[in-house]
Amino acid sequence: MPEEREGAGAWAPGRRRFLGGVAAFGGTAAFGSALALGGTEQQQARAEAPHGGPARPLALTHATLIAAPGAQPPRPGMTVLVRDGRIAAVGRTADVPEPPDARVVDLRGKYVIPGLIAVHVSGGGAGADGLSEGSAAQLSGVTTVAGPGSPPVDGSPALWPGSVEARDGAAARRAVRRAAAGGAAFVGVHPRLSRTAYHALAEEARIRRIPYGGHCPDAVPLAEASDAGHRIVEHLYALLLATSTRDEEIRHGLARIDARPGRYRDWLRQIRRLEWTAVRSYYPDRADRLFDRLAANATWVAPSLAAHRSLEDQEGDREEDRGEDRKTGTPYLRGIRAHRLHLVAELHRRGVPVLAGSTHADGLHEEMEQLAGAGLGAAEALRAATAGPARALGLADETGTVEPGKAADLVVLDADPLRDITAVRRIASVVVRGRLITE
């Protein structure tokens, strides 16, 4: 992927605000809705060092280092030196001296990548799954779970339980002010927000200097949302609509959907036929113009391919349980799935930055695999779960790559993920804020 360009959607949130919606597994900071690990950092340090003193330095030697996936080539024979939860030095093993008191781990034949970042853009918080010492999420390589840290803002009725219903512009502005006052990382947007309320939210977000992202509302054209500063677009519904020659017809169909309070999956099922209409009326020239606009505005896209597939598979299972023919509608579902992959490939080709969004480790692994297969390739798919979300969420100076001064969040793999992205599942150990964790 070309270097992401700064544009109308660029922002630089403060450190406190970002961590309002993030659970940093090392426990160095976690505010707002975030959940920290069990036990204080001092207790964890004492567990590693005698007499309650500082934790020993950690030297990972002779590793093949993939420090910045998609931006730098892998480097064999490298050492990563960790001290006090931070990366102290990175260099060839022959050139980086090991401190006398260091814990030295020889990683010949192993691969070191940055810790994975699990992002859920429009959900209600940081995501609580696996936020405990030695948890499944940690052991799956996820070192940061990020969410907005405040309830998503939707229209009425709201599709997601616990959402803020903004019936008008004034209510949307109040929701932004509450999110900003509570230290949220960003404001999550859901699909039933009206056009008037959406633009009020966007204006208030600019005033409060807090980003917003999530669904592009059904009533707002995607290009318009991107121009307004929509930082991250979650899912591909809006892209399907915006690249169709029948967009007005589809938009009227969306407005007629029977949206019931808290029934997000019902809404998903009802839009499936409209998605198929969009697929059959796809217009490549229109898509190219839109994607160029998204790239110019630095609008990120989180396709959520794995989440779509999971929901659709569950829907098929329920149909079977009810005695219905699961094969009903399969041709158009296959067509929609194939078109989603095509859209991801085109986004990448036109320079639109893509994120691997998921709330849990298994979904994140599957999302990377889907992105790689869609045309990003292994390096860019890995970037979409490391440096990409760190940059999109304003934490590029803290995590996302392996560099001196950054948090020591690392994953040690048994195989090369650049040759086969499924190697992200072959985890030997994880380093979280400088602590080496193994099963």
Label residue 232 by pLDDT band (50, 70, 90): very high
Question: How, if at all, do strands 435-437 and 427-432 pair?
Answer: antiparallel
Summarised one tens digit per residue, pLDDT across range 292-319 is: 999 999 999 999 998 777 666 655 544 4
Q: Nearest to residue 242, comparing CAs of 214, 217, 205, 265?
A: 217
157 preceded by a cis bond (ω within 30 of 0) = yes
Residue located via tokens 């910045």: 68
- 8 Å CB contact between 105 and 60: yes
Integer-rounded Cα radius of gyration of the chain: 22
Label residue 360 by pLDDT band (50, 70, 90): low
Half-sphere exposure of 226 (CA within 13 A, CB side): 24
Biggest CA pair distance of the chain: 71
Strand segments (E) across 16-102: 22-24, 58-65, 75-83, 86-92
CA dist 239 and 360 (Å) reads 25
Summarised one tens digit per residue, pLDDT across range 119-173 is: 887 765 444 333 344 566 677 899 988 888 889 999 988 888 889 999 999 999 9
Count CB-CB contacts under 10 A for residue 247: 19
Per-residue CA distances from 344 to 1, 51, 145, 236 (Å)? 12, 53, 23, 9
- 8 Å CB contact between 65 and 80: yes
As a whole-number percent, the residues of the chain with pLDDT over 70 amount to: 78
The pLDDT of 399-414, averaged and rounded, is 97
For residue 48, give every residue at least 6 positions away whose Cβ sits within 8 Å of its Cβ, in sequence order, or none.
55, 56, 435
Q: pTM for this structure?
A: 0.83
